[in-house]
Amino acid sequence: MRKFVVLVFLVTLIAGGIVFAGGQGEKAKPSGGKPFEGVTVSVIVHAGHHAAPWYDEKENIKNKLGITLDIIESTPEQLYSKELLELTQRTGAYDIVQYNSAWIGDYAPYILPLDNYVKKDNDAIGFNDILPAFNKAQNLWGGKKMSITLDGDTFLFYYREDLFRNKAEKLAFKAKYGYELPDPPETWQQVVDLAKFFTRKKGEKLAGRTLTKNFYGYADQAKRGRVYYWYLFRYVPFSAPNPQYFDPATMKPLINSTKAVAALDNMKELLKYSPPGVLSWEWDELYNAAMKGGTVGMWIHWTDEGRGFNTLAPLSVENPPKPILGIAGTPGVKVNGKLYKYTIVDSAWVASITKASKHPDAAYAVLKFMFAPSERHLKFIMNPDYGWDPSRYSTFNSKEWRKDVPGIGNYLAKELEALKEGYPMLKIPGAFEYDDVLDMDVSKYLAGEFKTSQEALDSVAKKWNELNKKFGVDKQKAYYAKMWK
């Protein structure tokens, strides 16, 4: 099948002559069946496991397209500044850039829209195959196709379903709180009740068995640097029914509204039922405590746990029951009796062609080779060592994946359901700075440096106003409007 797809691809290239007509660069050269013989395409990527697929396909790209791939690795902490320096100077150092989709407000002036390519090759790269939540939030900007999703990152709610199913715990919960133990919890208030209920000390009973370690009802990835994500998981639903970061008409920050304060209060309340030291937890600490340590009842994380559902450690009790990972969309808030839930979808990695690229057609050929629906792309997604999460219908519906990993269908179905409620991150010039300001003051409040949540969020709002003035209020207003197109 893979050879057949490649053969059709090459025949199309040769027959067309000018294969990737973006109207920007070189004509394809079908010499020896390699349309871009002698061309070098540079791609800057997230260092480590994200770079692995590019290295694995480097020789194939050379053999099929004639393109020499120059792979430049950078840590995720350095990508933004390193890329933006080259982009703003229009050096042409990079033909393809990998970046966080939330940075598009800064990158857009230097990125080549892909619409002409998509039109001329009848969407062979498969934008129509990308789930709407990802496509709209990550790839489209001001109505134009600006990027292709590499890694369909999103966030899901995880919980110990083996614990939630226990009959004795269900009876005890109802007796204490007056309603059925929710499986899964739908609201953030239910999460608070459950976290308090399930937090137990070593030696106490959990699921009818004796705890060998302290057990905690809930945990966030709360270290300074990315804790703002975990605040936004609350802020967006608490701001329902029409959540916004700013008033669209005036760009007045809404981050210190009454609803915003309630969201931060919820976050602080759940610290009472979280492991000690959680304010210093990054990805590894949360993953290890929840998935390997069996000491956390509920948490929100990327889709790694969902894909690795069958690696969940047993509860930290004597003679533990079979571990079962519960998966759901992130909790919501009820407003006038209606439940509002949202799934943050802008924590993902995308790839674009730079306007300064000397070889945009060849760069598009590389993107299509790597990311168009194919057995090759499915291999990337199925390989846990790559860390690329699914974003396409063709991978979510893959029979091969279900056959290869029995039980994976539950995770895929739950993520598809959650993505129906996708919500974007802030995407305006300086979004990185706005997020960092939010992250800093949320961290300070959780650490006790602000007396109240209102004081902390008033500080954020003040700094957001200053950033609006720095970038230009009218300019930011126009960019903010583009987020929703």
Q: Is residue 395 situated within a structural domain?
A: no
Residue 434 has pLDDT above 70, yes or no: yes
For residues 134-150, average pLDDT: 94
Residue 347 has pLDDT above 80, yes or no: no
Is residue 367 domain-shared with residue 447, that is, in the same domain? no
pLDDT tens-digit series, residues 277-308: 999 999 999 999 999 999 999 999 999 999 99
pLDDT tens-digit series, residues 37-79: 999 999 999 999 999 999 999 999 999 999 999 999 999 889 9
Is residue 123 domain-shared with residue 193, that is, in the same domain? no
- Give me the half-sphere count of Cα atoms (radius 13 Å) on the Cβ side of residue 55: 11
For residues 145-152, average pLDDT: 96
Is residue 111 domain-shared with residue 190, that is, in the same domain? no
Q: Is residue 400 situated within a structural domain?
A: no
Amino acid 417: pLDDT? 96
CA distance linking residue 377 with residue 27, whole number of Å: 26
- Give me the half-sphere count of Cα atoms (radius 13 Å) on the Cβ side of residue 281: 23
Q: Which domain holds residue 290?
A: 153-348+405-485
- Domain final residue pick, 357, 388, 419: 388
Q: Is residue 396 situated within a structural domain?
A: no
pLDDT tens-digit series, residues 251-279: 999 999 999 999 999 999 999 999 999 99
pLDDT tens-digit series, residues 193-250: 999 999 999 999 999 999 999 999 999 999 999 999 999 999 999 999 999 999 999 9
- Residues of the chain with pLDDT > 90, as a percent, come to 89
Q: Who wins on pLDDT, 143 or 1?
A: 143
Is residue 380 domain-shared with residue 304, that is, in the same domain? no
Is residue 302 domain-shared with residue 358, that is, in the same domain? no
User: Structural domain tally of the chain?
Assistant: 2
Q: What is the enclosing helix (H) or strand (E) of 145?
A: strand 144-145
Amino acid 29: pLDDT? 55
Is residue 380 domain-shared with residue 328, that is, in the same domain? no
Sheet holding 296-301, edge to edge: 216-219, 296-301, 156-160, 325-328
Is residue 191 domain-shared with residue 250, that is, in the same domain? yes
CA distance linking residue 125 with residue 135, whole number of Å: 13
Asked if 325 and 309 count as a contact pair (C-beta separation under 8 A), the reply is: yes
Residue 311 backbone dihedrals phi, psi, to 5 degrees: -105, 5
Is residue 190 domain-shared with residue 283, that is, in the same domain? yes
Mean pLDDT of the chain: 92
Q: Is residue 73 situated within a structural domain?
A: yes
CA distance linking residue 395 with residue 411, whole number of Å: 13
435, amino acid identity: D
Residue 162 backbone dihedrals phi, psi, to 5 degrees: -60, -30
Q: Is residue 399 situated within a structural domain?
A: no
CATH code of the domain in which 168 resides:
3.40.190.10
Asked if 251 and 467 count as a contact pair (C-beta separation under 8 A), the reply is: no
- Domain final residue pick, 388, 419, 449: 388
Is residue 105 domain-shared with residue 165, that is, in the same domain? no
DSSP label at residue 329: P
Q: Is residue 393 situated within a structural domain?
A: no
Amino acid 28: pLDDT? 54
For residues 472-480, average pLDDT: 96
Is residue 364 domain-shared with residue 297, that is, in the same domain? no
Amino acid 348: pLDDT? 86
The residues near 11 (Cβ < 8 Å, ≥ 6 apart) are: none
For residues 329-351, average pLDDT: 94
Residue in the block written with tokens 């959650």: 418
Amino acid 387: pLDDT? 82
Amino acid 21: pLDDT? 37
Q: Beta strand pairing status for 40-46 and 68-74?
A: parallel
Q: Is residue 65 situated within a structural domain?
A: yes
pLDDT tens-digit series, residues 316-331: 999 999 999 999 999 9
CA distance linking residue 360 with residue 41, whole number of Å: 9
For residue 308, the tally of other CB atoms under 10 A from its CB is: 16
Is residue 179 domain-shared with residue 67, that is, in the same domain? no
Asked if 329 and 415 count as a contact pair (C-beta separation under 8 A), the reply is: no
Q: Which of 12-16, 104-108, 345-349, 463-467 has the lowest mean pLDDT?
A: 12-16
- Domain final residue pick, 361, 388, 415: 388
Is residue 134 domain-shared with residue 43, that is, in the same domain? yes
The residues near 381 (Cβ < 8 Å, ≥ 6 apart) are: 388, 389, 390, 395, 401
Q: Which of 150-154, 338-342, 459-463 has the lowest mean pLDDT?
A: 150-154
pLDDT tens-digit series, residues 11-20: 333 333 333 3
For residues 70-93, average pLDDT: 95
